[in-house]
Amino acid sequence: MDFLNAIVALSNFVLIPAMAYGSQLALGALGVTLIYGILRFSNFAHGDSMAFGAMVTILITWWFQSMGVSIDPLPTALLALPFGIVGTALMLLATDRVVYRFYRRVKAKPIIFVMASMGVMFIMNGVVRFIIGPDDQRFADGARFIINARDFKEWSGLDEGLAFKTSQGLTIVTAVIVVAALFWFLNKTRTGKSMRAFSDNEDLALLSGINPERVVMITWIIVAGLITIAGVLYGLDKSFKPFTYFQLLLPIFASAIVGGLGNPLGAIAGGFVIAFSEVTVTYAWKKVATYLLPESLEPSSLVQLLSTDYKFAVSFVILIVVLLFKPTGLFKGQSV
Amino acid sequence: MKKFLMATAATALVGGAAYADNHETIKIGTILGYTGPIESLTPHMADGAELAMEEVSASGLLLGGMKVESVRADSTCVDSAAATAAAEKLITSDGVKGLMGPDCSGVTGAVLANVALPNGIVMISPSATSPGLSTAEDNGLFFRTAPSDARQSAIMAEILRENGAESVAVTYTNNDYGKGMADAFKAAFEAAGGTVTIVTAHEDGKADYTAEVGALASAGGDVLVVAGYVDQGGAGIVRGALDTGAFDTFHFPDGMIGSNLEANFGEEIEGSSGQVPGSDSPGNAAFVEMVGDKFDVTSPFTGESYDAAALLLLAMQAAGSAEPGDYASKVEMVANAPGEQIFPGELAKGLQILADGGEIDYVGATAVEFVDGGEAAGSYRQIKIEGGKMVTVQYR
C-alpha cells in the first residue's frame, strides 16, 4: 500500500506534470531546431510567434463559444486550432517576405538574422498585446479532468490523490501524433527529403534542382503548425498570458541546444531532459521517502536537493555541462 | 562673487533669525519624495497633510492662536543622502518643529538615524511600511500612521490559529514584500504554537510552477499561505495546487485579494481565508467628503498623511508647547483611547478639548491606533470565500 502511495504521489507531482511540460517544450524546440537547420539562424521571435498563434486560436475559440459550437468533453480550442495554424502561417510567411527574404538575398551572416528576429520579436510582442491585451485570458472549456484527485482517492482507497488533467492528456497525445507525423514527413515524402537535403548541404541541394524558396516556405508552414499547437496546449494547461510565452523562450532554446540544434530527435529529448530536471532536482522527496522507507529511517527534513528558487539554474547548468563535453548536443546537431 | 556669496549668506542668516523669532507661526516640514519613484503619489499626500495644517490654522485654537506653515522638502524616496540633507536644512535653517514624513522606508530610516535623533525632532511617516523600522533606535521620536507589514503577518497568524490551522506551508513572491511577509509570518505563526512546514519562493510570470507545487505538497500542511500577487505567480501556484489536489484551502494576504481571485477560482477555493488593510471606521468617509475635489483622495496614503500632520499638532496642543522634547511623549496619548473620538474635520473640537485639559482619542481618516511604541496598529478586513464570493468576516 505504501509502495502504491509513493508511486501515486510521484506521478501526481513529478511524472505527469513533467511529461506535459516536456511535451510542450519539445514541440517548441522542434520549431526552433527546424528553423536553425534550414534557415540557419536562432529565431528569437519564437516565443512571441507562439503567443500570436495561441492568440488567433483563442479569438476563434471565443467566436465558436459565442455561437454555441462545442465538442464537449474536449476543449473547443481544438476545433479552432486549424484556423489558428492558418493565421499563424500567413503571419510567418509575411514576416519572411518582409524581413528575412531580404537578408537571404544579400547572404547576410547568421548573427544579422538573429538580430532581425529580435526586432520581429519586439514587434510581435506589441502586436499580441495590442490585440488581446497583456492580461491572463481564459479559453479552456470542456471536461477539466480525466482523473480527478478526489475521485481517485475514493476509488482506490489510497491516501494520495492522482490528478490527470484533460489538457495534460491532450498535450501528451497530440505531441506524440505531431512528432510521428513530422518524422514521417521528413523521412518519407519527397518534400521532406528535399528539406533534409537542403539542411545537410545547401549547395548540393541547389545543384540537384531543389527550389530554396519553396523549402523555406514549407518550413515556415510546418513551424507555424508546431508553435500554434505548442502555444495552445500550453495555454490550455496553464494559462494564456503573452509575457509567459516570452519567458518560455529560454527553456525552449535550452531544450533545442541540449538536444543538438538542427536535430529534430534531439529537440524532443532536450525538451524532456529540461522539464524533468527542473522538476526532479528541486522536488522535496520527503513524502515519497516517508512511504518507501521503514519508520526508523523516515526523513525529518524535506530531502530537497535544491530549493525551487534554483530551478532555472538547473536547466542552464545542464546546458553548460552538455556544451562543455558535447558541443553539438546530446544528439548530433550543429555546433552553435 | 565672494561678496555676493557673503551677502546671500548674511541675508539667509538674518532671514532665518527673523523666522526663528516669529512666534506667530509653527513650521512643519512636509518631507516627501516629490521627485523619484513615487512622485505621482506625493503631491496628494502633501495636500492631505497641509489640509490638516490649514484646518488647525483656521481654527485659531492651537497654543493660543498660532498659525501653522508647511515647508516642503524633497526626500527623493530612494536617495538617503539627499533626504538627509533636505531634512537637516528643514531643521537647522527653516526651524521646523516636527517632520511629516519621509515617505519610503529606506530614506525614513536614514533621516531618523542621521537627523531626527541628533536634533531631537519628532517625525511621523505616513507611508513607511518596512518591518525593519520597528526595531530602529528612535528615543520615542518616530511614529508611523501606515501599519508595518509585520503587523499584517501577525494578524494573519492570528486568523489562521483561530481557524484551527495547526501546520501551514508558505510560498511567497520573490521580492522584498513577499520575503518580508513570509519571514515575519513564520515567526508569528510559530510563536502562536503552529508549525510552518516549508517556506519557498516563486518567481512571477514564469512558465511553469510544477516544481514549486511539488515541493509544497511534499511538505504538506492544513493550509497553503500564498504571499504573492493575484495577477502573477500567486495565481499559477493556486491553480497548480488545486489541480493536483495538493491543497484545497488557502490563506491570502493583501496582494492576492482582488476581483480576479473570485473570477479565476471561485468555488474551488471554498473555505479559504484572507485579509486586506481596510476599516469600517466612519473616519474615512468623513475624510473623503471633506476633501471633495481639492485633490485625489483615492490616491494611496492621503489619509495617513492627514493623520500624521494632525497628530503632530494635537500633540503640541496637549503638551502646551511646540518643542519636540515636550510634545513627543503626547503623540501616543492623543492617538489612543481614552478620550473623546476625533474624526477628520473635527480638529478644532479636539484642540478645544485639549486646551480645556480633557483627553482625546484621535481616530482620523485611517482609525489611527499606536502600539509597541509608535507603530500603527492598522486595521484589516478579514475575509473568507463563501459560495465562490469574498465575504467580510470582521474587521480587526
Q: How far is B168 from chain A (nearest CA, A)?
A: 14
Q: Are strands B389-395 and B380-386 parallel, antiparallel or unpaired?
A: antiparallel
Q: What is the pLDDT of residue A286?
A: 79
Q: Are strands B370-371 and B375-376 parallel, antiparallel or unpaired?
A: antiparallel
Radius of gyration of chain A from Cα atoms?
21
B211/A282 CB distance under 8 A: yes
B275 forms bridges with which residues in the sheet? B382
Domains of chain B are 26-146+281-376 (3.40.50.2300), 150-269 (3.40.50.2300)
Which among A153-162, A234-243, B349-358 has the top mean pLDDT? B349-358
pLDDT band at B94 (very low <50, low <70, confident <90, very high): very high
Q: What is the pLDDT of residue B355?
A: 92
Q: What angle do CA A58, A59, A61 make, to 5 degrees?
A: 60
Are residues A20 and A237 in contact, defined by beta-carbon separation less than 8 angstroms? yes
Query: DSSP string spanning B243-267?
Result: HTTS-S-EEE-GGG-SHHHHHHHGG
Give B246's contacts in chain A (Cβ within 8 Å).
Answer: 13
- What ipTM, to 2 d.p.? 0.75
Cell numbers given for A90: 500567413
pLDDT band at A281 (very low <50, low <70, confident <90, very high): confident
Q: Quote the distance between the C-alpha of residue B104 and its chain's center.
A: 10
C-alpha torsion angle, residues A25, A26, A27, A32 (rounded to 10): 90
| Rounded Cα–Cα distance for residues A297 and B366 (Å) | 55
| Rounded Cα–Cα distance for residues B20 and A128 (Å) | 62
Strand, helix or coil for residue B391: strand
Give B215's contacts in chain A (Cβ within 8 Å).
Answer: 282-284, 302, 304, 308
Give A279's contacts in chain B (Cβ within 8 Å).
Answer: 210-211, 214
Which among A263-267, B15-19, B72-76 has the top mean pLDDT? B72-76
Q: What is the pLDDT of residue A230?
A: 93
Q: What is the pLDDT of residue B86?
A: 95
Which stretches does DSSP call E strand in B134-267? Answer: 142-144, 167-173, 195-202, 223-227, 250-252
* Helix, strand, coil distribution of chain A in percent, nearest 5: 75, 5, 20
A282/B220 CB distance under 8 A: no
Question: Which one of B174, B198, B202 has the shortest CB-CB distance to A302?
Answer: B198
The domain spans of chain A are 2-325
Q: What is the pLDDT of residue B17?
A: 45
Query: DSSP string spanning A135-176?
Result: S-B----S-SEEE-HHHHHHHH--SS---EEHHHHHHHHHHH
pLDDT higher than threshold 70 for residue B215: yes
Q: What is the pLDDT of residue B126?
A: 92
Q: What is the pLDDT of residue B23?
A: 59
> Exposure string (b/e) for A304-323, b if CB count within 10 Å is 16 or more?
beebbeebbebbeebbeebe
| CA separation, residue B108 to residues A224, B93, B105, B234, B314 (Å) | 54, 20, 5, 30, 22
pLDDT higher than threshold 80 for residue A299: no
B51-68 pLDDT, tens per residue? 999 999 999 999 988 999
Looking at residues B19-47, what average pLDDT do you find? 83
| Rounded Cα–Cα distance for residues B141 and B323 (Å) | 12
pLDDT band at A122 (very low <50, low <70, confident <90, very high): very high
Cell numbers given for B275: 485579509
- DSSP-derived secondary structure letter, A13: I
A308/B245 CB distance under 8 A: no
CATH entry 2.60.40 includes domain A2-325: no
Q: What is the pLDDT of residue B30?
A: 96
Count of A-B CB contacts under 8 Å: 104
pLDDT higher than threshold 50 for residue A41: yes
Question: Which tops the pLDDT comparison, B114 or B178?
Answer: B114
Out of B193-197, B208-212, B216-220, B361-365, pick the least confident. Answer: B208-212
Query: Residue ranges of the alpha helices (H) in A208-263?
Result: 212-237, 242-259
pLDDT band at B347 (very low <50, low <70, confident <90, very high): very high
Q: What is the pLDDT of residue B19?
A: 47
Helices then strands, counting H and E runs in chain A, come out as 15, 2
Half-sphere exposure in the Cβ direction for A314 (13 Å, CA): 19
pLDDT band at B2 (very low <50, low <70, confident <90, very high): low
Query: DSSP string spanning B313-357?
Result: HHHHHHHT---HHHHGGGHHHHHSSSSEEE-TT-HHHHHHHHHTT
pLDDT band at A223 (very low <50, low <70, confident <90, very high): very high
Q: Quote the distance between the C-alpha of residue B309 and its chain's center.
A: 14
| Rounded Cα–Cα distance for residues B62 and B67 (Å) | 8
Q: Which candidate, A136, A89, A123, places its Cα nearest to that of A242?
A: A136
Judged on CB neighbours under 10 Å (0-12, 13-18, 19+), B64 is exposed
Work out the mean pLDDT of chain B and round it to a whole number.
87
A284/B198 CB distance under 8 A: yes
pLDDT higher than threshold 90 for residue B1: no
Question: Which tops the pLDDT comparison, A274 or B131?
Answer: A274
Q: What is the pLDDT of residue B18?
A: 44
A 10 A CB-CB count for A332 gives: 13
Give A134's contacts in chain B (Cβ within 8 Å).
Answer: none
A13/B220 CB distance under 8 A: no
| Rounded Cα–Cα distance for residues B204 and A304 (Å) | 22
Are residues B376 and B147 in contact, defined by beta-carbon separation less than 8 angstroms? yes
Are residues B341 and B363 in contact, defined by beta-carbon separation less than 8 angstroms? yes
pLDDT higher than threshold 60 for residue B312: yes
Cell numbers given for B381: 478586513
Looking at residues A115-139, what average pLDDT do you find? 89
Q: How far is A119 from chain B (nearest CA, A)?
A: 22
pLDDT higher than threshold 70 for residue A333: no
